[in-house]
Amino acid sequence: MASEQREEPLQGQPEAGVEEITASVKEIMLKNDDELTSDEKYVLCRSIGEECLMEAELKNLLEKKPNPVAYDGFEPSGRMHIAQGVMKALNVNKLTKSGVTFRFWVADWFAQMNNKMGGDLKKIQNVGKYLIEIWKALGMDMDKVEFLSASEEINKRPDEYWTLVMDVARKNNLKRIIRCSQIMGRNETDELSAAQIFYPCMQCADIFFLKADICQLGMDQRKVNVLAREYADDCRPKRRKPIILSHPMLPGLLQGQEKMSKSDPNSAIFMEDSELEVRTKIKKAYCPPGEIEGNPCIAYVKYIVLPWNTEFEIERSDDNGGNKVYTDYDELVKDYTSGALHPGDLKPALAKALNRILQPVRDHFENDPQAKALLKQVKSYKVTK
């Protein structure tokens, strides 16, 4: 019987057998894809993850396999917030530049099982189309990206899929599966439907069904990804374990919100928010002077603005220190903790930078009639938890 293990290396230390590689992600992204060494590919891929299980396996994969496969599954469950939009585009572009094929699992059946959009499959599928439109408008490199509908793909190969799901279910007890309920935005103490209990078994099976070498999802999906590694070990003969490359979770904009919520419009910037909405939300956002930990505005600069723009410009009067351009996150942290950078100057600069990133998406949904109609339809849907 598989049991959850913590397979992670010590924080701040490379794993045994993995040398620290010093190379600038910014510089590597400017190179032609066919010029990248396996070490440079590793730097790009590793820069995505708050955690990697395991680093040595990732390095070996990139050295030995020219075109690995990464996957992420998403429930089409409502409007797209900026982490799902911009952070995911950044991550996918780094992986595809490294020779990775990225498979998006459009998890329509999963959203239905989790009662999203009231369980209305047609609405769920329309939301899936809207999310894809956003990534295209934003500039995600689509050359090595595949969007696969769960309901369609499973129905093409039902024998293979359901045999996998049943095997995962057989090899794990109910308590172990319920511990994975976090992946659905649920708690272990919630009253789960039978479908929601089956959900983790299916998500685990997806990884092997899609032939994924890398699971590139958020830290909130960690439990089921570890389950997949344990399942691979428990199989006879053993299956190849997927590498887990988990990106960090962006906090909600209001105090005490550990993550954004699609059901709370004030907790996040959404990809087609107007300029005014962005300015208003950032103005109201929690941003304690001198504090970095738990500060969503600082997190937005770190994970959204600097990676996308490579710089962050503060505009202020000479009396308040004059204009300053940050290209290094550590320098920004130093100034913010010392008081040299004040929330009153950081917030308007952040709002301006975010609006610049989002403008191509707004333009697409304003100027493309089909996209405009799709957005209107999605906005009319009631988001259900």
Residues of the chain with pLDDT under 70: 1-23, 182-189, 262-263, 384-385
Class of residue 310 by CB neighbours under 10 A (exposed 0-12, middle 13-18, buried 19+):
exposed
Residue 371, pLDDT score? 92
pLDDT of residue 264: 78
What does the pLDDT read at residue 91?
Answer: 96
Q: What is the pLDDT of residues 286-321, one digit of tens each?
A: 999 999 999 999 999 999 999 999 999 999 988 888
CA atoms within 13 A on the CB side of 265: 11
**Each residue's pLDDT tens digit, 202-241:** 999 999 999 999 999 999 899 999 999 999 999 988 899 9
At residue 182, the pLDDT reads 65
- Cα separation of the two ends of the chain: 32
3-class secondary structure, 144: coil
pTM for the whole structure: 0.87
pLDDT in the model for residue 9: 43
